[in-house]
């Protein structure tokens, strides 16, 4: 499976989704097309970084891999799409284009423009998949993302309401620790039990923080499993 994660807008969670949802479940190589912003290495996830100007080199590598995720940073999206037009037919190198989005107005407009840009290039609706990110529990999806659902009707684009990632502060908390999400989940340390053995307030607080991160990470991983199943119902889930 070759997947391109893209959106004209920043701050929609492209890198988080590429590195933590898609890469481990597809057992994929990760490429970051970025020049200005932080890439997946900031989350402790290994990624190869290139600029959009090196599109030809990127595609050569993509075509040699069975499973790959390409995370296109917002600073490189326009150039990436321009290069894709220059290399006629190169959009066919990707099985799926994943477009993360959030409910903010600017990001919604950018998401609509991203879909339109892909469609004008010849990408079929069946290869465009939207991930609704940072959704609150009380959000009514069709209302929060009304413009997207309106476009979906016009373009015959299938939006899956199960491809939802709920708001979770684990990625903010994890930044100050030396583990990525997958490592936190795999860590067998019983911080709740060890907290009772700590003799200082600082030690107890540190254990409590670790326990909080582990619990939030576990919830996040389960949510990502559900979203992945909605995005790729026929794909066998790789071990995470």
Mean pLDDT on 112-133? 96
Q: What is the span of the domain harbouring residue 153?
A: 2-169
With respect to residue 239, please indicate whether it lies within any of the assigned structural domains: no
**What's the whole-number average pLDDT of the chain?**
91
Res. 184 pLDDT band, cuts 50 70 90: very high
Distance CA 109, CA 102 (A): 10
With respect to residue 63, please indicate whether it lies within any of the assigned structural domains: yes
CA distances from 213 to 112, 180, 194, 204 (A): 34, 11, 15, 14
Question: For the chain, how many structural domains are there in total?
Answer: 1
CATH classification of the domain holding 90 = 3.40.50.300
With respect to residue 159, please indicate whether it lies within any of the assigned structural domains: yes
With respect to residue 188, please indicate whether it lies within any of the assigned structural domains: no
With respect to residue 193, please indicate whether it lies within any of the assigned structural domains: no
Closest CA to 237 of 54, 25, 5: 25
Predicted TM-score of the model (pTM): 0.89
pLDDT tens digits for 149-161?
Answer: 998 988 889 999 9
pLDDT tens digits for 53-98?
Answer: 899 999 999 999 999 999 999 999 999 999 999 999 999 999 999 9
Distance CA 97, CA 7 (A): 10
């Amino acid at each position: 499976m070759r997947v391109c994660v893209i959106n004209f807008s920043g701050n929609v969670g492209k890198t988080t989704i590429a590195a933590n949802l898609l890469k481990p479940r597809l057992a994929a190589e990760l490429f970051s097309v970025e020049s200005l912003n932080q890439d997946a290495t900031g989350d402790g996830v290994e990624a190869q970084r290139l600029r959009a100007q090196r599109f030809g080199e990127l595609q050569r590598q993509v075509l040699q891999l069975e499973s790959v995720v390409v995370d296109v940073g917002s600073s490189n999206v326009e150039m990436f799409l321009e290069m894709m037009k220059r290399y006629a037919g190169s959009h066919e190198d990707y099985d799926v284009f994943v477009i993360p989005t959030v409910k903010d107005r600017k990001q919604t407009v950018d998401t609509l423009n991203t879909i339109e840009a892909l469609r004008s290039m010849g990408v079929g609706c069946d290869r465009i998949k939207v991930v609704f990110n940072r959704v609150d529990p009380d959000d009514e999806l069709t209302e929060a993302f009304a413009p997207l659902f309106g476009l979906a009707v016009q373009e015959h684009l299938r939006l899956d309401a199960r491809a939802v990632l709920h708001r979770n502060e684990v990625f903010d908390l994890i930044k100050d620790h030396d583990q990525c999400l997958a490592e936190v989940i795999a860590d067998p340390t019983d911080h709740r039990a060890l907290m009772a053995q700590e003799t200082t307030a600082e030690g107890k607080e540190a254990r409590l923080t670790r326990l909080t991160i582990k619990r939030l990470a576990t919830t996040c991983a389960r949510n990502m499993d559900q979203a992945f199943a909605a995005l790729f119902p026929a794909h066998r889930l790789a071990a995470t």
